[in-house]
């Protein structure tokens, strides 16, 4: 009963407002299409393509891959310092080995995720190439 009351007070008014907006809201004469609106909001010097060498997806993927790679290398270095400074303490050695292991696993997951995204975007991109550049 409480869930039904919560639904009725939260989502039902939103649904009614959305339905009224869809049914009674009409675009004014001379309104822009969605693509024209996107082009109008597009700033100077910003990438205008989704795919391709200068595309948004390529740029975002390259930046994220760089961040993940840098963090993994930093964690491997931290794990190495922890291993060297463990002083023979078995729990500290285990923790340091786990840090190194998880950093390497994270690096491999990021690499395979990049390869899978590259393959999928290559399959669905308009020119079929995916437009990826080397990182």
Report if residue 13 sits inside a domain.
no
Report if residue 115 sits inside a domain.
yes
Report if residue 111 sits inside a domain.
yes
106: domain range? 50-124
Question: What's the confidence (pLDDT) of residue 84?
Answer: 93
Distance, CA of 75 to CA of 103 (rounded, Å): 6
Report if residue 1 sits inside a domain.
no
Residues 50/56, Cβ–Cβ less than 8 Å: yes
Question: What's the confidence (pLDDT) of residue 124?
Answer: 72
Report if residue 28 sits inside a domain.
no
Question: What's the confidence (pLDDT) of residue 117?
Answer: 77
Report if residue 81 sits inside a domain.
yes
Question: What's the confidence (pLDDT) of residue 8?
Answer: 61
Q: What's the domain count of the chain?
A: 1
SS3 content of the chain, % helix, strand, coil (to 5): 70, 0, 30
> pLDDT under 70 in the chain at which residues?
1-8, 11-12, 14-15, 17-54, 125-135
Question: What's the confidence (pLDDT) of residue 30?
Answer: 58
Report if residue 78 sits inside a domain.
yes
Question: What's the confidence (pLDDT) of residue 34?
Answer: 64
Secondary structure (DSSP) of 22-66: HHH--PPTTPPPHHHHHHHHPPTTS---SSSTT-HHHHHHHHHHH
Report if residue 27 sits inside a domain.
no
Question: What's the confidence (pLDDT) of residue 16?
Answer: 72
Residues 78/85, Cβ–Cβ less than 8 Å: no
């Amino acid at each position: 009963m409480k869930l039904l009351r919560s639904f009725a007070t939260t989502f039902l008014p939103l649904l009614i407002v959305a339905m009224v907006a869809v049914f009674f809201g009409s675009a004014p004469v001379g309104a822009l299409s969605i693509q024209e609106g996107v082009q109008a909001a597009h700033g100077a010097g910003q990438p205008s393509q989704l795919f391709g060498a200068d595309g948004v997806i390529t740029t975002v993927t390259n930046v994220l891959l760089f961040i993940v790679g840098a963090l993994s290398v930093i964690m491997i270095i931290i794990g190495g310092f922890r291993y060297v400074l463990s002083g023979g303490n078995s729990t500290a050695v285990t923790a340091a080995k786990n840090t190194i292991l998880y950093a390497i696993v994270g690096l491999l997951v990021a690499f395979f995720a990049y390869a899978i995204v590259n393959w999928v975007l290559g399959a669905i991109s308009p020119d079929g190439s995916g437009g990826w550049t080397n990182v």
